[in-house]
């Protein structure tokens, strides 16, 4: 047990500003990058939403059922009350 304390002792004794400064800098870069990435994702989702809003309701529904819910053309056709061929045209 005393060996473990000796191994861990240096971790708590790092002077403020030494290696913790580099770590803080790396963390700040990561957080900044993550924030930029999140903003880009939100912007992209808003653009996709705007494009989908311009589609006719059945086309939009068929797209969402296929892409988000993984439904087959046959299942989408049954849900929308149209032929499978029509779903493929959408």
Two tokens, residue 65: 């059922």
The pLDDT of residue 70: 97
Two tokens, residue 77: 């056709």
Q: Where are the domains of the chain?
A: 16-54, 56-90
Q: pLDDT tens-digit profile of 50-73?
A: 999 999 999 999 999 999 999 999
Which among 90, 20, 18 is positioned nearest to 79, based on CA atoms? Answer: 90
Q: pLDDT tens-digit profile of 16-46?
A: 555 567 888 888 777 777 888 889 999 999 9
Q: Whole-structure pTM over 0.75, yes or no?
A: no
Q: d(Cα 31, Cα 16) in Å, to the nearest integer? A: 21
**How distant is the alpha carbon of residue 34 from its chain centre?**
11
**What b-and-e string marks burial along 18-53, b requiring 16 or more CB atoms within 10 Å of the CB?**
eeeeeeeeeeeeeeeeeeeeeeeeeeeeeeeeeeee
């Amino acid at each position: 047990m005393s060996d473990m304390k000796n191994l861990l002792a240096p971790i708590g004794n790092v002077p403020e500003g030494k290696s913790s400064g580099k770590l803080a800098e790396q963390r700040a870069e990561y957080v900044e990058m993550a924030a930029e990435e999140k903003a880009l994702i939100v912007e992209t989702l808003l653009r996709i939403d705007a494009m989908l809003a311009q589609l006719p309701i059945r086309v939009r529904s068929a797209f969402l059922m296929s892409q988000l819910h993984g439904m087959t053309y046959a299942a989408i056709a049954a849900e929308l009350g149209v032929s499978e061929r029509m779903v493929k045209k959408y």
